[in-house]
Amino acid sequence: MNNTKYVFVTGGVTSSLGKGIIAASLAKLLQERGYSVTIQKLDPYINIDPGTLNPYEHGECYVTDDGAETDLDLGHYERYLNIPTSQANNVTTGRIYQSVINKERKGEFLGKTVQVIPHITDEIKNRVQILGNTGDFDIVITEIGGTVGDIESLPYIEAVRQLQWDLGEDNAVVVHLTLVPYLAAAGELKTKPTQHSVKMLMQSGVSPDILVCRSEHEISDDIKRKLALFCNVKKQNVIQSLDAETIYDVPNLMFKEGLDYVVLDKLRLSTRKQPKLTAWNRFLERHKNPTSTIEIGLVGKYVELHDSYKSITEAFIHAGAANKTKVNVRWIHSEELTPESAIQQLEGVDGVLVAPGFGDRGIEGKIAAVQYVRENNIPFLGICLGMQMAVIEFARNVLNLKDANSTEMNPKVAHPVINLMEEQKDVTDKGGTMRLGAWDCQLTQDSKVFEAYKQELISERHRHRYEYNNEYKEQLETAGMKTAGINPKTGLVEIVEIPTHPWFVGVQYHPEYKSTVLNPHPLFVSFIKAALKQSKK
Ligand code: GLN
């Protein structure tokens, strides 16, 4: 048994209160106080992972180094903590049931009736403790997805109840995030929804130690006292969380409110070392005081839900701060973009990012965007499908292979410049079967990417089935689309560039997943720098 302490974060009243940001901010403060911390998300849905979910359902699918397809909150965890997460950091109900059922089939339950309690809850408890048992962390923060009162959250709350006993009083703390709404007509903040959601938690045997109250207005001492009284917590453990100007303000706000202090106090851990947030605040300073503003066109088919591109827009913020530049995003729906409308829709943007995606909806719009930026010398970054569209556009309009396409869009295409990967040919299952996770890439020295990364061998995360077709490599290169990076083992082309263009880079991998506050991604930094230059023209 090691000494890992556990923080559980539950949510009440409504979804979208920003549990992930609160968990990440708390983790950041604890990390700054010298503790090693990780964060885990338990998702109560039955999908094995969010990899098969449409982004409209759940926002972006975030990919880790070890190739796990995970919830977008893991992106926040990495961006705040600057340490990688893994499959163990995201568990769904589907995964829990899958392992319990597999064990049942192997006869591991020795003839017992398999039930939610204890078998499902035991599996949840194991998954929570896996990270702690590595011995790598002083504190594990476990965020329970969903809202207290949801039927599907019940086994998780029950597991927390049991874990509090198993771990002991000083080793576990429950933070409940709730909403204190303001009723304009009454001119009052209302505590009743919080009282009810705490009551619901208590009915399941879990009594929160700390309340974090989201609110649009200052929560007075009186209201804190009332919440403390009705919800059975200490008054100093009622923490207000006001709407912030940026999510990156939240660690400072939580420090001011003493969230990290009350958590450590409950866990009987030292509070002597203060969090400094020096590098963090340096980033904030640059982020909040930009000397220039640019506009980037983000071309994608899920633009109605900005969360679908969370890591990309956050990477813009990090790279913007590095360039002391405010990056405004012009959201452009690829289905509404045509070669004719590209001029108006893209007019005045300083750079264009063509986003990842699947299937043929909107791809002609993406191709039109690439053509426009290529011909008009506007900085371009194509990610995954965006890179593939750049290759197709070049093949069609420069090589004059008019019917070039990806076999994803047309399996019988005459010029398959993007092709299904060999190892994908026998794959029939959709879940978890793409080329996923971190792979090496060898950069060409004389290239934009080498200038950005300043190193020859990089490792980036992937999520795709289709690839650049090497049969067209010679033609593409001769016509001016250069190969700037390949997988050293397989020879797969990972990066294309057009050296005659001011900044035109397409990457098969997803650089956005690795951008953090303290390590803004070099490729994004370089792209924003190029866009900044374009804006001054
Ligand atoms: N649909 C493309 C493929 O599978 C691109 C995937 C992506 O953009 N993530 O290769």
Please check whether residues 228 and 302 belong to one and the same domain: no
The domain that contains 465 carries what CATH number?
3.40.50.880
Please check whether residues 234 and 370 belong to one and the same domain: no
What's the gap in Å between 463 CA and the centre of ligand 1? Answer: 7
Strands (E), 429-523: 435-443, 457-464, 466-468, 482-486, 493-497, 504-507
**Which of the listed residues 257, 281, 305 is the one where a domain comes to its end?**
281
Instruction: Return the pLDDT at 291.
Output: 97
* First-to-final CA distance of the chain: 63
What's the gap in Å between 301 CA and the centre of ligand 1? Answer: 13
Please check whether residues 395 and 423 belong to one and the same domain: yes
Nearest to 390 by CA among 295, 533, 493: 493
Write the residue with the smallest CA distance to atom 6 of ligand 1.
Answer: 464
Write the residue with the smallest CA distance to atom 3 of ligand 1.
Answer: 464
Please check whether residues 272 and 334 belong to one and the same domain: no
Instruction: Return the pLDDT at 58.
Output: 85
Please check whether residues 55 and 82 belong to one and the same domain: yes
**Best residue for ligand 1 mutational test, from 53, 366, 422, 463 (most atoms within 8 Å of Cβ):** 463
Backbone angles phi, psi at 185, to 5 degrees: -60, -40
Instruction: Return the pLDDT at 129.
Output: 97
Please check whether residues 256 and 392 belong to one and the same domain: no
Strands (E), 84-152: 90-92, 139-144
Choose, from 384, 441, 460, 494, the residue flagged as catalytic: 384
Please check whether residues 118 and 177 belong to one and the same domain: yes
| pLDDT-flagged residues of the chain (< 70) | 1
The domain that contains 67 carries what CATH number?
3.40.50.300
**Best residue for ligand 1 mutational test, from 61, 354, 358 (most atoms within 8 Å of Cβ):** 358
**What are 463-479's pLDDT values in tens digits?**
999 999 999 999 999 99
What's the gap in Å between 521 CA and the centre of ligand 1? Answer: 21
465 Cβ inside 6 Å of ligand 1: yes
Q: In what order do the strands lie in the sheet with 404-406?
A: 404-406, 415-420, 466-468
Please give the number of the atom of ligand 1 that sits closest to the Cα of 466.
10
Left, alpha or beta for 472 (phi > 0: left; psi -120 to 50: alpha)? Answer: alpha
Please give the number of the atom of ligand 1 that sits closest to the Cα of 434.
4
Mapped onto helix, strand or coil, the DSSP state of residue 462 is: strand
Question: Do the annotations mark residue 192 as ligand-binding?
Answer: yes
**Which of the listed residues 255, 281, 307 is the one where a domain comes to its end?**
281
Query: Which range marks the domain in which residue 301 is found?
Result: 290-535
Please check whether residues 126 and 72 belong to one and the same domain: yes
463 Cβ inside 6 Å of ligand 1: yes
Please check whether residues 344 and 493 belong to one and the same domain: yes
Instruction: Return the pLDDT at 1.
Output: 52
Please check whether residues 95 and 63 belong to one and the same domain: yes
355 Cβ inside 6 Å of ligand 1: no
CA distance 173 to 392: 54
Please check whether residues 259 and 324 belong to one and the same domain: no
**Which of the listed residues 248, 281, 314 is the one where a domain comes to its end?**
281
Nearest to 507 by CA among 489, 486, 528, 532: 486
Query: What total number of domains does the chain contain?
Result: 2
Write the residue with the smallest CA distance to atom 8 of ligand 1.
Answer: 356
CA distance 358 to 175: 38
User: 86 CB contacts (<8 Å, ≥6 apart)?
Assistant: 64, 65, 66, 68
Please check whether residues 19 and 92 belong to one and the same domain: yes
Please give the number of the atom of ligand 1 that sits closest to the Cα of 408.
1
